[in-house]
Amino acid sequence: MKYKDDEYQLLVNGISHWVKIEGSQNRTVPLVIIHGGPGGNHYVFERTVGPKLAEERTVIYYEQRGCGRSSKPQNDNDYSIETLVDDYIKLMNQIGVEKVDVLGYSFGGELALEIAYTYPDIINKIILSAPSLIFSDTVYETQIKGFKTVADKELIEKIEHEMLNNKSLKEKWNKVWSLVDSDTVDSFLFEDKLIAKRNRKLWQESGLINTGLMMKALEKIPPVSPLRDRLTKITNDTLILTGVHDRNTGLSISNIMKQKLPNSRLELFQKSAHFPDLEEGELFVKKALNFLKNGDRQGGN
């Protein structure tokens, strides 16, 4: 590996990508952290469980094009899955790593699987935290149902009214998201209100904003075939970590992945919703590190 612990801006495909390396002294197979969104960033993860992982592993963070501290493409539509995978490969080549483990959370889990599908020989183990399958009816249904479980009576009535309209499920889903406020979103994403407040404080502290451009672009240019139909071809050892109260991507998505990924196992977090890394951080780190240690090959690149 060419780089040591620090933050970098690395130019790939005309985009300046924010990269951070921690724990290089551990000399393990690097663990690449892939953030969610689409359009999110690593600000919270790198201030919570990230440093705990870096106590034992070499950890590489990077933020995707147009996300967080990375620059955005000139063309607002330049965000296809194929482009994001190509960015990743060229970044790893520039950093100087040949084979890595990956930890993707939410949409980052989906992107991690797309990378492993396209380049199976460069990915060792995969950890998926509350993985998604964006733009699927399963996600739309899970989220609408999830909001109804945490909404007040007035909001529930509005949601139920929308569900009676003669619109597509996707249109209803978009409308439901337009109805909810930040407090409802916090209750939707977390079981523990104190942790939800801490998370939102860090979001605000970061000053980083999800522009929504990546989500819109990915919707316009979907993969040639849905990831769900290709999961059986991804044979990497995979650990799926999911909160039993996840109302965002839900157990339904994790169970689909467990059933279709040939070498996967699912671990549940009894006190967590969409972010087991925040709500049960110690257990999350323990499960992740134990999985990575099993058959670990020391030395890294």
User: Do 251 and 285 reside in the same domain of the chain?
Assistant: yes
User: Do 34 and 103 reside in the same domain of the chain?
Assistant: yes
Instruction: Return the CATH number at 60.
Output: 3.40.50.1820
Largest CA distance in the chain: 59
CA nearest to 198, candidates 112, 111, 278, 297? 278
Q: Give the amino acid at 135.
A: F
User: Do 159 and 128 reside in the same domain of the chain?
Assistant: no
Q: What are phi and psi of 274, to 5 degrees?
A: -80, -15
* Domain count of the fold of the chain: 2
User: Do 19 and 62 reside in the same domain of the chain?
Assistant: yes
pLDDT digit string, tens, across residues 42-92: 999 999 999 999 999 999 999 999 999 999 999 999 999 999 999 999 999
User: Do 24 and 114 reside in the same domain of the chain?
Assistant: yes
pLDDT digit string, tens, across residues 197-237: 999 999 999 999 999 999 999 999 888 899 999 999 999 99
User: Do 19 and 63 reside in the same domain of the chain?
Assistant: yes
Q: What's the pTM value of the predicted model, to 2 decimals?
A: 0.96
User: Are 47 and 202 a contacting pair, CB within 8 Å?
Assistant: yes
* Burial (Cβ within 10 Å: 0-12, 13-18, ≥19) of residue 230: middle
User: Do 126 and 47 reside in the same domain of the chain?
Assistant: yes
Number of H helices, E strands in the chain: 12, 8
Q: What are phi and psi of 172, to 5 degrees?
A: -65, -40
User: Do 240 and 286 reside in the same domain of the chain?
Assistant: yes
Q: What is the pLDDT of residue 297?
A: 46
User: Do 18 and 109 reside in the same domain of the chain?
Assistant: yes
Residues of the domain holding 57:
6-134+206-293
